[in-house]
Amino acid sequence: MTSNPDQVYSKVQEVLVDALGVDEEEVTPQAKLVEDLGAESIDFLDIVFRLEKAFGIKIEQSELFPESVLNDPRYVQDGKVTDDGLAELRQRLPHADLSEFEASRSVEDFSNIFTVDAIVKFVQAKLG
Amino acid sequence: MSKRPAEGVQESGERTERGNPRSGPLTEHRLIPAMRWIWIDRILELERGVRCVAIKNVSAAEDVLHDHFPATDQSPALPVLPNTLVIEGMAQTAGILVGHARDFQEKVILAKITRAVFHADTGPGYAIRYTARLDRIDDSGAATTGTAELIDPASGQAAPLADIELMFSHIDRNRAGLAFPESNFVFTGQFISLLRRSGIAI
């Protein structure tokens, strides 16, 4: 399976167009899956299934979307991710850019880290 | 000893005196008929974790066909099974496939109609054969692909009716803080009856 960045991007784009019913032009590298492309929770499962099929890889849902961290009282207090939580997220999500999230740390803002670019990087890392 | 509710009927209210349902006011032990929401008639094949085939006979006795669409001054009645109910039939076929894969221990909820493309209309006197295939299942949910075919009993021939892709959620694992009843409200008596009359051991 290829890990050529352009080919990976093109396939991810196709997956997101099919899963979210959006136009190809909307799927830009910086587009946020929830805020810009209208993804809902079940769409993330759909995206995981489609990525597996498109790239012939196996993805545990928690790899891409670490809900367990956000539901863990050790890592979240008063709706905000703690220092330990942030460290855990960095370790779990090496493909994601957390710099913007660090400013608010609010769980409500967490979905914004899922950009098209983050998904592409995740797939590239999986492909090796 | 209280009577067991008849199939398709669910009890409501509390009894005022244990063991004697007739001792309290009528309203406290009335039986409310459960909504009959079963849009497949028989399961023809069920291969665990692989595929489920079901049949639905479309009858003029179904009320919905008389409202969709009734005669007007300008045009005669046009009884067509709404496409939403064709999708519901597929959801029930695929839902049984998904539920069966995990011994009906999960509450399987239709979460997303990923794709639905229709090729024909369905009127009374025809049958719909649903074939659902399990693409993927994990703890969170499942994805299915399916085809619906329109069967004309006059010729026995089948024609493409629809292609339908669905996503199901295992709702207990995706509660997001919401509380759901402990009992499995998805696979109720209506579905158990369907499975039994189709000769499927559960």
Q: What is the ipTM of this complex?
A: 0.78
Hunting for tokens 């493909």 — which residue is that? A95
- Do you find a cis peptide bond into B69, omega within 30 degrees of 0? yes
B21 pLDDT exceeds 90?
no
Catalytic residue among B68, B100, B119, B170: B68
**For residue B112, which residues of chain A lie inside 8 Å, CB to CB?**
42-43, 46
B32 pLDDT exceeds 80?
no
Q: How confident is the model over B136-152, as a mean pLDDT?
A: 95
* Residue from A16, A45, A60 whose CB has the most chain B CBs within 10 Å, to mutate: A45
Tell me the pLDDT tens digit for each residue of A14-58.
999 999 999 999 999 999 999 999 998 889 889 999 999 999 999
For residues B140 and B1, which has the higher predicted lDDT (pLDDT)?
B140
Active site residue B68: yes
Q: How many CB pairs under 8 A join A and B?
A: 31
B53 pLDDT exceeds 80?
yes
A6 pLDDT exceeds 90?
no
pLDDT attached to residue A70: 83
The CB-side HSE value for A116 (13 A sphere, CA atoms) comes to: 25
Using a CB–CB cutoff of 8 Å, tell me whether B52 touches chain A. Answer: no
pLDDT attached to residue A128: 81
pLDDT attached to residue B7: 41
Max Cα distance, chain B (Å): 60
Q: How confident is the model over A55-83, as a mean pLDDT?
A: 86
Q: pLDDT band for position B112 (50/70/90)?
A: very high
3-state secondary structure of A46: helix
A82 burial via Cβ count (<10 Å: 0-12, 13-18, 19+): middle
Using a CB–CB cutoff of 8 Å, tell me whether B157 touches chain A. Answer: no
For residues B98 and B2, which has the higher predicted lDDT (pLDDT)?
B98
For residues A87 and B179, which has the higher predicted lDDT (pLDDT)?
A87
Average pLDDT, chain A: 89
Average pLDDT, chain B: 83
Distance CA B29, CA B31 (A): 6
Using a CB–CB cutoff of 8 Å, tell me whether A43 touches chain B. Answer: yes
Give the range with max mean pLDDT: A90-99, B33-42, B137-146: B137-146
